[in-house]
Structure 1
Amino acid sequence: MTLTTETSRRAKSQPQAKRARRVEPMHLIFLVPTLLVFTLCITLPAVMGIFFSFTNSVGYGDWDFVGLSNYALMFTDPAILKSFGFTIGFSAVTVIVTNVIAFLLAVGLTAKIRARVAMRTIFVLPMVVSPIVIAFVFQFLFAKSLPAAATALGIGPLEETILANPDLAWISIVVVTAWQAIPGTMLIYIAGLVAIPGDLYEAAALDGIGAWKQMQLITIPLMAGYILINVILTFKNFLNAYDIIVGLTGGGPGTSTRPVAMTIFSGFENGDYAYQMATATVFFLITLAIALLQLRLMRGKKQ
């Protein structure tokens, strides 16, 4: 009798569970404005841009199909290849700098030290400041303050601003970009460090394992997922760097620090609409590949 009652109760609850999982029509209605804006402002322009990359359009007026001519020219254009090389190289270096410093800061700010909560607040401040404002502030520091201080202290190599040096200007971009990106990256690392059970460290200490060995055997292995997330997210973000570079170096000296985004925009102004849309399409495919890699790696971590 008990089994029959239980079976009957489960049978009645199944339709209720299905109804509970069903999405209410009103929820879907609220998605319509967002989908409409996304389609009109992002999806449609992207599709049109890919279409015009196979033409000779200058952005208006008549145009003709030219097939893959724009793509063939792009892969032999030294200016385009240089901008791709700078963007990828700058992104790779900044990813390493950002993640190493953010990880070390996260370890320090989760340790048992005084005023660690206040220090976390201070370190997060760069994240809420506009990139273009940060760029102009650091541009003044690199162009005026640092050379003046170097002159007063007799430090010869720094008496001239590195912003005017084609071989060193990229260093200033790495410094400023990392300075703003570190807080957000650090917060993710702090979340991971806080989630590690303290019993593991206590047991390791009882076994005579020092702090450095604990870092190697406990912290880094358990933080592998968070490190992977930060590396991929920061790399994707740095590929799209624009504001800080515009405010700091303007892509100069010459074109030594010009990223892909700036090359594309400058081409629009010079009537190379279709040609730069081909560049933007290739750049989009690279970013998409990184996003798919992220999803694949994260799915592997969950499994």
Structure 2
Amino acid sequence: MKKKKRISLTFYAMVIPMAILFFIFHTIPFLQGVFYSFTDWKGYGTWNLVGLRNYTHIFSDKNIYSSYLFTFKLAICATILVNVIGLLIASGLNAKIKCRNVLKAIYFIPYMLGTLIISFVFKFVFSNILPMVGEQLGIEALRLNILGTNQAWIGVLFVTVWQSLAFNVLIYLAGLQTVDQDIYEAANLDGAVGFKRFMKITFPLIAPFFTINMVLSARGYLMAFDQVMAMTDGGPGTLTTTISVLIYKKGFSGGQFAYQSANAVMMFVVIVVISIIQLKVLDKREETING
């Protein structure tokens, strides 16, 4: 009979403190937020239990409705763009080209910088540099600061995709490097080249990496916050107000702590449900492709 392998004390010494910290700074605040979502607490003073009143009111709140619409629009567009562009870049970097390692480093630089830093830089670019360039070159489209117009979301989308590309490219590169080159050689003999080879061979083999990127991208963009706060503060008006921004602004400075706690719980449920659906659909797709 085999003896059970003993777990090193080093493992417990590393894991237990992190688990305790996670419980204190994540789990407990989350549970407190869930509790307060059933109250009328404003973030200060006394409070009373109100049951499901906050949750029922969410479905008739136009501000929350519009913030969900914008968040979904941003998340869908960003998820599609970042995965399509990321896969194209990864395919190019995976090919035998000169300065490949240098290009990898260049593409990864945006991910190393903070989202807030990048957003403030691009806010300056959109509001100062581009209008100046448009003025000098006589290009009418560039003269206007896009962040102050109804097209402000395009600026937010651009920065979101640009900053996120590095992570997706890295995952796709890891997937492409697992593909055996002998398979491509056999495919060439059978006449499978170009886009046909990609769809019939490459994509099925990196399908798990595609699933990872799709789920992580959608989850992250549904919680978009930093880039919106830094670039538009949810404006002009409320056109670029995401769910996270609405929760922050109304919950902490608008006296709606309990109400926005309920909104945060709803947001959590929505993200979990979407992630599960994505995993189910994409897992079935992987089985179909590889079956």
The match for 2:215 is 232
Q: Report the counterpart of residue 2 of structure 2 in structure 1.
A: 15
Report the structure number with the largest CA radius of gyration.
Answer: 1
Q: Within the alignment, does 1:141 sit opposite 2:125 as a pair?
A: yes
Deviation for aligned residue 1:23: 3.4
1:163 lines up with 2:147 in the alignment: yes
AA aligned to 1:110 is: N
Instruction: Give the total of aligned pairs.
Output: 286
> How has the CA–CA distance of structure 1 residues 87 and 47 changed in structure 2, closer, same or farther, with 3 Å as cutoff?
same
Aligned to 2:25: 41
The CA distance in 1 between the partners of 2:127 and 2:18, in whole Å, is 44
Q: Aligned to 2:158, which of 175, 178, 186?
A: 175
1:222 is aligned to 2:205: yes
SS at match of 1:113: coil
Is the CA contact 2:39–2:50 (under 8 Å) kept in the aligned structure 1?
Answer: yes
The residue matched to 2:131 in structure 1 has which SS?
helix
Identity %, equivalent residues: 37
Distance 1:63 1:90 in 2: 36
- Over 3 Å counting, the alpha-carbon distance change for 1:102 and 1:26 in structure 2 is closer
Q: What secondary structure is seen at the aligned counterpart in 2 of 1:56?
A: coil
Work out which of the residue numbers 90, 101, 107 in structure 2 matches 1:106. 90
| 5+ long unaligned stretches in structure 2 | none
Q: How many Å apart are 1:224 and its aligned residue?
A: 1.7
Where do residues 193-208 of structure 1 align in structure 2 (5 Å cutoff)?
193-208=176-191
Q: What is the CA–CA distance in structure 2 between the aligned matches of 1:293 and 1:120, rounded to whole Å?
A: 32
- How far the C-alpha of 1:71 sits from its partner, in A, is 1.1
Q: CA deviation at 1:54?
A: 1.0
CA–CA separation in structure 2 for the residues paired with 1:129 and 1:54: 39
Aligned to 2:256: 272
Q: Is the 8 A contact 2:111 2:167 kept in 1?
A: yes
- 1:157 shift after superposition: 2.5
Cα deviation per residue 1:70-125 (whole Å; 9 max; x = unaligned)?
11111111111111111111011000111111100000001111111111111111
Q: Normalising by structure 2, report the TM-score.
A: 0.92
Q: Distance between the aligned counterparts of 1:165 and 1:78, measured in 2? A: 21
Q: In the superposition, relative to structure 1, how do residues 219 and 299 fare at CA in structure 2: closer, same or farther (>3 Å)?
A: closer
1:234-253 equivalences in 2 (<5 Å): 234-253=217-236
- Give the RMSD, CA atoms, in angstroms: 2.0
Identify unmatched segments of 5+ residues in structure 1.
1-13
After superposition, the Cα gap between the structure-2 partners of 1:156 and 1:191, relative to the gap in structure 1 and judged at 3 Å, is same
Normalised to the residue count of structure 1, the TM-score between the two structures is 0.88
Pairing partner for 1:77 from 61, 74, 78: 61
Once the two structures are TM-superposed, the CA of residue 294 in structure 1 deviates from its matched residue by 5.6
Counterpart CA distance in 2 for 1:127 and 1:221 is 27
TM-fit CA distance, 1:25: 6.1
Contact 2:215 2:278 in 1 (8 A): yes
Say whether 1:150 aligns with 2:134.
yes
What amino acid does structure 2 have at the position aligned with 1:57?
W
* Alpha-carbon distance, 1:190 to partner: 0.5
Q: Tell me by how many angstroms 1:283 deviates.
A: 0.6
